[in-house]
Copies of this chain bind each other. A is one copy, B any other.
């Protein structure tokens, strides 16, 4: 059996047609899009073609798309750019975000606090959802920016962006959403969502690492965070990552065709996994039971720790991830799980399986057959677990 990759939330394999398009962009169209000669013009044409394709997948116009070096940079350009831009216009000083954002958002907001901005972090409920009433309470006359992610990377919970954005814009503030995990997976339409700024990243949708984009609605002022050439309307200077951008364009075009069918397929796998795993003793589903990404499964196994679980899965050729701090070398486990009210211990025992194009029904079976044994084995070693399920030693079981 091939290794089973179930960590598509971390990154995805690159689609063969994406690789092909990138190779072509490097071999036949290596020019600098800023050059006036034939090589430059050919490169420029490819750049704009990719922009059309990425824009189309989010219902935007091509000129509203800025290519970036990834989701992190898109988040940074949006948040620093809008916050400083609005303050320069004298609109205020207050930023609102949520407790479950990616570090690219949370840490950018923290850095802005040092510049004198005031930041309110909205709580989430036990499913990881932001409540519209919480935003309503937090909005002030000097609120200039609200940044709340579309779907969470760890637990897959989808936020009520449409309502949050409407509320925000009614108060004259800018609304940004980090759609890195949802773009290409569930429908994302900037007009329907009503957002001003939206971040996405290519390597989560079978495109290459190191490319992303920011949607910028007309009229939104962004103070640049980087300086150099006049590429991307001066919002993201530097020679464009042409092969990467071409790959992103191709990935978006493929996603546009496959999104619905893939969503249905992965939702079925997801539900099989959730059902099978939560049937085991002392297991808890993390995230929203229904309002979650089709590809996301996140469960906590009581009494065991995530890194050991990942290593054991790895020995069985299963690639997954965990919100345990032990995988990152830091002390606290995932801020997302803690914000949802999980205890440290339960957060440490979390397992995230994120599905994707390559996964098969057999792989779901394999996981469901393999995991119980591993969990039992680790529990048998755990001083926290004294249940009688451990009568037989795990070595005998093998």
Contact = CB atoms under 8 A, between A and B. Distances in A.
Q: Copy number in this complex? A: 2
A70 B35 contact: no
A3 interface: yes
B103 A37 contact: no
A390 interface: no
A107 interface: yes
Interface string A205-223: 0001111000000000000
A243 interface: yes
A201 B38 CA distance: 23
A335 interface: no
A314 B39 CA distance: 9
Nearest to A210: B241
A7 B42 CA distance: 15
A72 B229 contact: yes
A242 B40 CA distance: 25
Contacts of A7: 31-32, 35, 37, 39-40
Interface string A328-346: 1000000000000000000
A209 B242 contact: yes
A128 interface: no
A307 B39 CA distance: 15
Contacts of A35: 7, 10-11, 319, 321
Interface stretch (A19-27, A54-62, A372-380): A19-27
A76 interface: yes
Interface residues of A, number: 71
A135 B321 CA distance: 53
A209 B32 CA distance: 9
A126 B7 CA distance: 58
A340 B307 CA distance: 60
Interface string A28-63: 001110111111100000000000000000000000
A23 B41 CA distance: 25
A229 B105 CA distance: 10
B10 A32 contact: yes
B107 A11 contact: no
A23 B203 CA distance: 15
A100 B181 CA distance: 43
A132 to B, nearest CB: 27
A276 interface: no
Interface string A222-235: 00011111100000
Given A23-B19, A35-B319, A319-B35, A239 B11 contact: yes
Contacts of A244: 208-210, 241, 244
Given A37-B310, A238-B73, A244-B210, A26 B19 contact: yes
A113 to B, nearest CB: 12
A19 B21 CA distance: 12
A228 B107 contact: yes
Given A104-B237, A209-B242, A226 B72 contact: yes
Given A39-B319, A107-B237, 10 more contacts: A7-B39, A10-B32, A37-B314, A71-B238, A72-B238, A73-B226, A76-B226, A208-B243, A209-B241, A244-B244
8 contacts: A11-B31, A11-B35, A19-B27, A38-B314, A38-B317, A71-B239, A209-B241, A210-B210
Question: 8 shortest A-B CB distances, which residue pairs?
Answer: A210-B241, A72-B238, A69-B69, A104-B228, A107-B227, A72-B228, A37-B319, A11-B32
